[in-house]
Structures are given as structure tokens and as C-alpha cells.
């Protein structure tokens, strides 16, 4: 957990949405797009975002608690930036302390989700948006970050309830964005290039976690 605030967006890459707009215009030429196609693509128009509702969550099992807007950047993923990764974190503190930190504008970091030891899931940033969680701008833009309550040197903090709840969450994220369920796309914070973090630590049971994620992913919703 923890990261310096991301730099300004002056060097922001050309998003996939912009490329799609250009491609649509070039292909259409003078032809008139069908009404249903316009309805499907209206939000790709520059300056138009997918609809949002205050307090809405992306994962049905989550409770919404908003992070400070200093700890994330508004986006329109996966159309601004494709999402192809989940990054696993451990909070190095209690659930309450993590929530408080993510609500603090001076913290300059936050993840999309926090999973408590009893399996409760809180969402603090929409998956549409870029959370400052990975310590690497590119990885922030392409990933969803999940924090887990506990300390890396306390294996007793990594409860079965936490593993199971997190696996359900990760499986749904993978299904939503067609992310492969493997260790190239579901990684620990320690595996992010340039980071100085060690979480989720040596006690995190990757074999168990990936088995749970695959089980949920292959079970009909």
C-alpha cells in the first residue's frame, strides 16, 4: 500500500477510445450509421463518458465507501485504457486504517477494493477510474488493485474467508474484462516493475488463491 501521486496527464497516451472514433469515422465515410449503432457508440464521442451513478459499485458483493479524489484519476476504462491485470496487495494495517488512509488526500494512494479478514468487500474507486496503487503509471492504468487486511509477516491474517471473497472478486473482474486467469495477469504488488513494496508477502498462498479464482471463473454465474 502506498504510492506517490501520479504525474499530470500531459503525456497521456492516445486512448483506445480515440482510435476507435477515428476508425469509425474513416470506415463510415459518407454513409449514415444505423440508429442502433449510434446508440451503442454514443459514449465514445470525445467528452462523453459512460453513465455513472453516485455510490454505484462494480462488484455486486461490495459496499461503497469513496476514496479521496486526490488518490485516483478519473478515466473511462476500458476504453481509455484496456484492463488486463489484477494486482494483489496487503494493507500492512487494519481494515479501518486502510479506509482512513484512502480517504486522506495527503496519502496519494488508494486501491479499488479492500477485502477484510471476514470476507467483507469494500469498493473505494470505480473500475472505470485509474487508482494510484501500483507505484507504476502503466500498471495503474491497466489494472484493478485489491488490498487485503493484514500484515505480510502474520500468516494468521490471511484467512480462508478473505481468500474466498477475494477470489470471487478477482474471478468476476477477469470475466468482465476477459483477463486470463494466470500468474502473468494476476500478480502481487511486489512483482510490479519499479516498486519497493513486498506485499502480498511470502505467506500469501498463490497456489490456493489461483485454484479458488479458477474454480469461480469456471462456475456458471
d(CA 184, CA 84): 10
98 CB-near residues (< 8 Å, 6+ apart): 1, 91, 114, 147, 149
Q: How confident is the model over 87-106, as a mean pLDDT?
A: 98
**Domains of the chain in sequence order:** 13-44 (no CATH), 62-217 (3.40.80.10)
Mean pLDDT across 118-123: 98
Output the average pLDDT for the chain.
84
| C-alpha–C-alpha distance, residues 164 and 5, integer Å | 31
Radius of gyration of the chain (CA): 18
Query: How would residue 41 be classed by pLDDT, with cut points 50, 70 and 90?
Result: very low
For residue 30, pLDDT over 50 is answered with no
What is the pLDDT, as a whole number, of residue 221? Answer: 59
pLDDT digits (tens, 9 = 90+) for 43-58: 444 455 788 999 999 9
Q: Is the model's pLDDT at 64 over the cut of 70?
A: yes
pTM of the model: 0.80
Q: Is 128 left (phi over 0), alpha (psi -120 to 50) or beta?
A: alpha
Question: What is d(CA 73, CA 59) in angstroms, rounded to the nearest whole number?
Answer: 20
Residue 191 scores a pLDDT above 70: yes
Mean of the pLDDT values across residues 111-121?
Answer: 98
Amino acid at each position: 500500500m502506498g504510492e506517490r501521486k501520479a504525474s499530470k496527464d500531459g503525456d497521456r497516451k492516445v486512448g483506445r477510445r480515440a482510435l476507435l472514433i477515428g476508425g469509425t469515422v474513416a470506415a463510415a465515410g459518407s454513409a449514415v450509421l444505423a440508429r442502433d449503432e449510434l446508440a451503442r457508440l454514443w459514449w465514445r464521442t470525445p467528452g462523453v463518458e459512460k453513465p455513472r451513478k453516485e455510490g454505484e459499485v462494480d462488484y455486486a458483493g461490495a459496499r461503497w465507501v469513496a476514496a479521496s479524489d486526490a488518490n485516483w484519476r478519473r478515466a473511462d476504462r476500458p476504453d481509455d485504457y484496456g484492463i488486463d491485470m489484477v494486482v494483489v496487495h496487503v494493507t500492512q494495517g487494519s481494515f479501518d486504517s486502510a479506509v482512513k488512509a484512502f480517504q486522506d488526500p495527503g496519502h496519494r494512494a488508494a486501491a479499488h477494493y479492500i477485502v477484510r479478514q471476514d470476507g467483507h468487500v469494500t469498493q473505494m474507486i470505480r473500475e472505470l477510474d485509474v487508482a494510484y496503487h501500483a507505484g507504476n503509471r502503466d500498471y495503474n492504468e491497466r489494472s484493478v488493485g485489491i488490498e487485503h487486511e493484514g500484515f505480510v509477516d502474520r500468516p494468521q491474517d490471511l484467512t480462508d474467508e478473505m481468500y474466498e471473497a477475494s477470489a470471487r472478486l478477482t474471478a468476476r473482474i477477469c470475466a468482465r474484462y476477459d483477463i486470463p486467469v494466470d500468474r502473468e495477469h494476476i500478480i502481487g504488488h511486489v512483482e510490479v516493475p519499479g516498486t519497493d513494496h513486498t506485499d502480498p508477502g511470502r505467506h500469501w498462498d498463490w497456489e490456493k488463491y489461483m485454484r479458488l479464482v479458477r474454480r469461480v471463473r469456471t462456475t456458471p454465474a
